[in-house]
Amino acid sequence: MSLYRFISNNILFKFDPELIHNLMQIILSSKLGPFLARIFATNFNHKSKTSIMGINLDSYVSLAAGFDKNCSMLGALDKLGFGYIVGGTITLHPRPGNLKPRIKRYVSDKSMINALGFPNDGLKKITDNLKKYNLKTPLVLSISGDSNEEIIYLYETLSEYCSGFEINISSPNTEKLKFFHNIDNLSELLAGINKIKNKPYMLKIPRFENLKDSNQNEQLTQFINTAIKHDADGIVLCNTLPISDKELKMGKGGLSGKLLYPNTKNTLKIVNKLFNNKIDIVASGGVSNSNEVTSLTELGAKSVQIWTSLIYEGPGLVKKLNKELACG
């Protein structure tokens, strides 16, 4: 057992997960953060070259949205060796998120459920954070909102601070996003972005539990066809999986972590067969080892995002994955 696993299992996991994440954010946002991150930094002899949305990457492994909601830890995260980092999700105005408790760990399954609902400090404060950095790692900003106008304004305002965008219309914990699940509404949003487009963007797709179901399969296909029709530069497969859990205040949330990997792999296999390299694909959900990364890239993913596996394996996971992928 690694030192991190020993500490997490015997100390960290005894406390509320959101409390631990907030404490980590305070540490990594401080001047001490980048110094501590260097301990786990990737040796850049270990590079796996790829690209997404036309952005050249030094690793297949990237950080998913939600880990650094306010873009306050980027100085530390920049040292770890990610291909790119997704900051956010950012909304126009500050949001407190949903009522607590809103996160629960499933430790034995190396998974978790969250019903966060986009808690973030809003555009103004996050923009102030972004002005501080001169990052080596490409930064992708996750943006969302309740209307076309809000998302388009975020895109236009934040474009100078990032290499590209992830348009999040798929969080299962934010009820108003269902507006964009109507294909006409989604088309209008993407057409609006295209009118001012100066940075590439990818669309984060909802996750479907059973793609053998014709209705779910059709919905997934419609999302991707719409992205392709409007010249989106990529898609992210997928967001968290909606499930119920009575211990959360909302009684439901989005599942992430190891339990999702079979669904991620199956979804990618179906999508790649249907669309055959017509759009860049990022695989997200349940990845925790280099064999899984390799399996997903062989199925057509240009990049793989991780998040929950960092909670269970620790910050050294990025270095480990990069080394194994480079040597493999």
Residues 6+ apart with CB under 8 A from 252: 115, 172, 242, 243, 244, 245
pLDDT tens digit sequence for 201-250: 999 999 999 999 999 999 999 999 999 999 999 999 999 999 999 999 99
Local confidence band at 1 (pLDDT 50, 70, 90 cut-offs): low
Spell out the domain ranges in the chain.
Answer: 3-327
Question: Whose CA is closest to 104, among 275, 304, 250?
Answer: 250
In what order do the strands lie in the sheet containing 241-244?
103-106, 111-114, 252-257, 241-244
The secondary structure of residue 20, as a DSSP letter, is H
Please tell me the distance from the alpha carbon of residue 65 to that of residue 69, in angstroms, as a whole number.
7
Reduce the DSSP state of residue 81 to 3 states and report it: coil
Q: Is 187 within 8 Å of 226 (Cβ atoms)?
A: yes
Q: Are 196 and 156 in contact (CB under 8 A)?
A: yes
Q: How confident is the model at residue 44 (pLDDT cuts 50, 70, 90)?
A: low
Q: What is the mean pLDDT of residues 174-202?
A: 96
pLDDT average, residue stretch 94-99? 97
Mean pLDDT of all residues in the chain? 95
Reported as a single tens digit per residue, the pLDDT across 55-76 is 999 999 999 999 999 999 999 9
Q: What is the DSSP string of 24-79?
A: HHHHHHSTHHHHHHHTTPPPTTS---EEETTEEES-SEEEPTTSSTTS-SHHHHTT
Task: Give yes or no for residue 144 having a pLDDT over 60.
Answer: yes
Identify the architecture of domain 3-327 in CATH: Alpha-Beta Barrel (3.20)
Residues with Cβ within 8 Å of 73's Cβ and at least 6 positions away in sequence, in order, are: 25, 28, 29, 33, 67
Distance, C-alpha 182 to centroid of its chain: 22
pTM for the whole structure: 0.96
Question: What phi and psi, each to the nearest 5 degrees, are found at residue 120?
Answer: -160, 165
pLDDT at 102: 97
Question: What's the DSSP call for residue 158?
Answer: H
Q: Read off the pLDDT of each residue in 83-102 and give the average, rounded to a whole number.
A: 97
The 10s digit of each residue's pLDDT in 273-328 is 999 889 999 999 999 999 999 999 999 999 999 999 999 999 999 999 999 998 76
